[in-house]
Structure 1
Amino acid sequence: MRLVRLRTPGGLDNLKLVEEDHRQPGPGEVLVRVRASSLNLRDDFVVQGKMPFADGRVPLSDGAGEVIAVGDDVDAFKAGDGVVSTFYPWWLGGDMTPSTRRDIPGESFDGFASEYVCMPAHAFTRAPAGYTHIEAATLTCTGVTAWRGLVVCGKVKPGDTVLVLGTGSVSLFALQFAKAAGARVIATSSDDQKLEKLRLVGADTVINYKAVPDWGRNARDLTDGRGVDHVIEVGGPATLAQSIIACRTGGHIALIGVLTGFAAEVSIPALFSNQIRISGISIGSRADQEDMIRAIEVNRLKPVIDRRFPLEDIVAAFTHYESQKHFGKVCLEL
């Protein structure tokens, strides 16, 4: 099989395409022929050596394909089933604990830049009916993150107003989930072309945050001064203050990203006086992913895909991802 191994100290030049034999599944395991993967910010951190990894690690946390063989004691899947990976293979449901977040594919053990993987059956769920492998491979990280932030923790409902920041994949998934729930969506970007694409995906109103620096106040004004019910906060320090301004009394901020850094000054009175609830979101559980997939099927949602690259062009895929010119997921075909 072909696979990519990342050599220390990291960097795109240290992604090496190699050939190795795959192993057969043991008890409780499945052998999956990986057909697609997708890139995420965390993958880029690992590949660039910004997060610790073992020399020779196979990168990428998201993968989809079909089951080739199952080991003893596996009854959830059979050969030929379409499956998609989970981000935390040991977080099956309920609240996260230190023990359930201990392993992440592509980081603490080998990931999905590989034509075959052999993993515990609970490291996968079924893929959505009617999805291609490329489409399924977009769901593991950003899809589940948006679902947990907006639906599980946010409890979005018809008539709510949702503010999504930027055009990253979490924001695009959140936009789709919000519209499926009957909510109104306000979306931001600094790129007028991307703003138009956001309208095409379903955004009701868009704001160019460079043209309107006080975009939090603008979003509040668009709700007749009431404020938005939910913010999908992916920026971090440079955007959190505006997100708080945008929120209604009793509103919810799903704190997801750190695109602008890791530490921020926060107005504590603005939070408690307005009873704003902030949820820290770190992907989601296997049960969250299964719930999301059922909702995707019922609402016939499709992910936004920007470009796809063959496995041997993984460096070009990361280069395109890092350019931040993409709109939607950057994927690999295996």
Structure 2
Amino acid sequence: MTLPRVPFSDSAGIVLSTGPRVVHFRRGDRVCTLFNQTHQSNPITRDSMSSGLRGTLDGTLCKYAVLPEPGLVMAPSNLSPIAASTLSCAHLTAWNALYGLTPLKPGDVVLTQGTVCGGGWRDGGGHDIVGGEGAAAEKDGRSARD
């Protein structure tokens, strides 16, 4: 890593402008950053690992940033920018899997592991979530359908 380096990677913001080859975002879109700027799906590669914010690339503790299109996803419209900025790791990975590159359609079924905390997403998506949980959840009566 070369120093100095701008810290932070978990962010949300508003697109101010785009380049001529950008197809997924427009001026005014609310977006969240992905940690690895060149990785959205498929197995992670050495190249995508070297595109991490606050590591190889400058982070997001700044007023303006220029980021590659694959390093952003649309922010959920029901969240404030501050709340959306917390999604960059595990939560954003799950959100993008459900609503990102190939969004689920109403009626689709999602199989999840450990749904005690994440099963509430089924309420607004129009799809069914079927969850697998551990023995502790079964023992005290919790269920993905509760």
**Which interval holds the TM-score relative to the shorter structure?**
0.5 to 0.7
Structure 1 pair 100–141 and aligned structure 2 pair: CA distance change class (3 A): same
Is the contact made by 1:178 and 1:184 (CA closer than 8 Å) also made in structure 2? no
Which whole-Å CA distance do the structure 2 matches of 1:183 and 1:123 have between them?
A: 29
- Is 1:179–1:185's contact at 8 Å kept on the other side of the alignment? no
> 1:83 aligns to what?
31
Partner residue of 1:123 out of 71, 95, 108: 71
Shift of 1:130: 2.2
Post-superposition Cα deviations, 1:255-304, rounded to whole Å, max 9, x if no partner, equal xxxxxxxxxxxxxxxxxxxxxxxxxxxxxxxxxxxxxxxxxxxxxxxxxx
In 1, distance between residues paired with 2:77 and 2:132?
27
> What is residue 117 of structure 2 aligned with on the other side?
176
Paired with 1:99 and 1:110, the residues of 2 have a C-alpha distance of 16
**1:66–1:83: 8 Å Cα contact kept in structure 2?**
yes
What residue in structure 2 maps to residue 219 of structure 1?
A: 136
Q: Alignment RMSD, CA only?
A: 3.4
Structure 1 residue 140 displacement after superposition? 0.9
Structure 2 residue aligned with 1:110: 58
Q: Distance in 2 between matches of 1:156 and 1:85?
A: 24
Is residue 156 from structure 1 mapped to residue 97 from structure 2 by the alignment? no
- Does the CA contact (< 8 Å) of 2:112 and 2:132 recur in 1? no
Residues 12 and 30 in structure 2, CA contact (< 8 A), matched pair in contact too: yes
SS at match of 2:17: strand
Distance 1:175 1:61, change over 3 A: farther
Cα deviation, residue 83, structure 1:
0.8
Which is richer in helix?
A: 1
SS in 1 for 2:47: coil
Deviation at 1:183, TM superposition (A): 4.3
**Other structure's SS at 1:69 match:** coil
Alignment of 1:1-334 (within 5 A): 53-144=1-92, 147=94, 155-156=111-112, 162=114, 175-180=116-121, 181=129, 183=131, 219=136, 222=139
What is the match of residue 125 of structure 2? none
Q: 1:116 offset after TM fit, Å? A: 0.6
Is this contact kept in 2: 1:178–1:185, CA < 8 A? Answer: no
Instruction: Report runs of 4+ in structure 1 exceeding 6 Å deviation.
Output: none
Task: Report the Cα distance in structure 1 between the residues aligned to 2:138 and 2:68, rounded to whole angstroms.
Answer: 50
Sort the Cα spacing of 1:156 and 1:184 in 2 relative to 1 into closer, same or farther, 3 A: closer
Structure 2 residues not aligned, in runs of 5+? 99-110, 122-128, 142-146
Q: Percent identity?
A: 24
Deviation by residue 1:68-97 (Cα, 9 ceiling, x = unmatched)? 111221222111111111121111322222
Matched residue count:
123
- SS of aligned partner of 2:136: helix
Q: Does structure 2 retain, via aligned residues, the 8 Å contact 1:86–1:123?
A: yes
Query: What residue identity is the alignment partner of 2:61?
Result: A
Structure number with the bigger relative contact order (C-alpha 8 A, sep ≥ 6) is 2
